[in-house]
């Protein structure tokens, strides 16, 4: 650059092409050099000033969410992705706020608005037992986003001084109504009767799941290499992933939530 361009006196990062007279404006971000050519000096100055302002500003929640989908989502199961996307719908009220402006008080305002809506008599009467009980799922997702934002190399500079604004009080403020009493457990006698009524394939699958106390994806994804008949043991190392719509098998995922050895009998 020194052979082709000359420095502009009194201006940092702006140079003029000796032969053509055009200007080049430069900026450095995280060790990477960014530069752009301009016909006029004022254009080069304006681009550099705007670039500096952008470096010193905070990304919005939407910015972080979009980049999070590009980087983190490919490592997640499709069911987790779909759940997170559904939970983010309520957080869209906050998505245009810069991350430093999503404060504890802003979250409180967001909670008051949504609790008021879900406590509305017309909503409650239309939903019955299926009505929303609390905002914990959305608050948990917001915590997940902030934690990823803090740990990501992309945002490390702007996120350095920020802390997660979700507090314990927000979970209390997000209470809408008690969770309905749903007795889902059945006794052993009824369980065995249920298993006997299943078709052979599903009976074996359900019986193995019952005695392993495992998730269905982990039992369905069990590989022969993980079964030790001699020592009557098996190891759960995989989990099955299904398409959310068709419910057909899509892939086998490593590292399920259960990682301990399970007795085989």
The verdict on 48 and 101 lying in the same domain is: no
Could you tell me if 165 and 243 lie in one domain? no
Q: Model confidence over 49-100: pLDDT tens digits?
A: 877 666 667 889 999 999 999 999 988 877 889 899 999 999 999 999 999 9
Is the domain of 96 the same as that of 168? Answer: yes
Q: Same domain, yes or no, for 103 and 169? A: yes
* SS3 label, residue 31: coil
- Return the sign of the alpha-carbon dihedral for residues 31, 37, 38, 41: positive
Give me the pLDDT at residue 254, please: 80
Q: How far is CA 38 from CA 45, 49, 178, in A?
A: 10, 14, 63
Tell me, yes or no, whether 247 and 213 share the same domain: yes
Tokens of 241: 């992933």
Domain that holds residue 226: 188-263
**What SS3 class is residue 28?**
strand
| Separation of alpha carbons 39 and 20, rounded Å | 9
Q: Could you give the number of structural domains in the chain? A: 3
68 and 37, same structural domain?
no
Residues in the chain predicted with pLDDT less than 70, given as ranges, are 1-3, 29-31, 52-56, 128-130, 257-265
At 62, list the tokens.
Answer: 């939407």
| Domain-located, residue 75 | yes
DSSP code for 189: H
Residues 119 and 162 in one domain: yes
Considering the domain architecture, whether residues 142 and 233 belong to the same structural domain is answered as no
Is the domain of 134 the same as that of 195?
A: no
pLDDT score, position 261: 46
Give yes or no: residues 168 and 230 share one domain: no
Does 179 map to a domain?
A: no
Do residues 85 and 69 share a domain? yes
pTM over 0.75, yes/no: no
DSSP string of 52-116, one letter each residue: HHHHHSPPBHHHHHHHHHHHTGGGS-HHHHHHHHHHHHHHTTTTTSBGGG--HHHHHHHHHHHHH
Domain boundary among 173, 202, 221: 173
Q: Do 128 and 164 lie in a common domain? A: yes
């Amino acid at each position: 650059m020194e052979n082709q361009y000359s420095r502009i006196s009194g201006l940092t990062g702006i140079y003029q092409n000796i032969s053509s007279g055009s200007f080049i404006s430069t900026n450095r971000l995280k060790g990477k050099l960014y530069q752009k050519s301009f016909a006029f000096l004022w254009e080069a100055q304006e681009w550099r000033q705007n670039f500096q302002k952008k470096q010193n500003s905070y990304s919005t929640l939407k910015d972080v969410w979009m980049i999070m989908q590009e980087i983190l989502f490919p490592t997640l199961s499709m069911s987790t992705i779909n759940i997170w996307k559904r939970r983010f719908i309520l957080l869209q009220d906050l998505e245009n706020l810069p991350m430093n402006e999503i404060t504890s008080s802003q979250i409180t305002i967001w909670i008051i608005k949504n609790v008021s809506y879900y406590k509305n008599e017309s909503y409650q009467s239309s939903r019955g037992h299926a009505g929303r009980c609390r905002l914990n799922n959305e608050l948990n997702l917001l915590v997940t986003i902030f934690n990823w934002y803090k740990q990501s190399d992309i945002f490390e500079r702007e996120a350095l001084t920020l802390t997660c604004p979700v507090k314990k009080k927000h979970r209390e403020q997000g209470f809408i109504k008690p969770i309905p009493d749903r007795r889902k457990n059945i006794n052993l006698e009824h369980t065995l009767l249920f298993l006997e009524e299943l078709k052979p394939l599903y009976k074996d699958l359900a019986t193995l799941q019952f005695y392993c106390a495992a998730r269905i994806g982990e039992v369905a994804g069990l590989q022969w290499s993980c079964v030790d008949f001699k020592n009557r043991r098996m190891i759960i190392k995989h989990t099955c992933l299904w398409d959310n719509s068709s419910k057909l098998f899509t892939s086998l995922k490593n590292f399920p939530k259960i990682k301990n050895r399970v007795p085989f009998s």
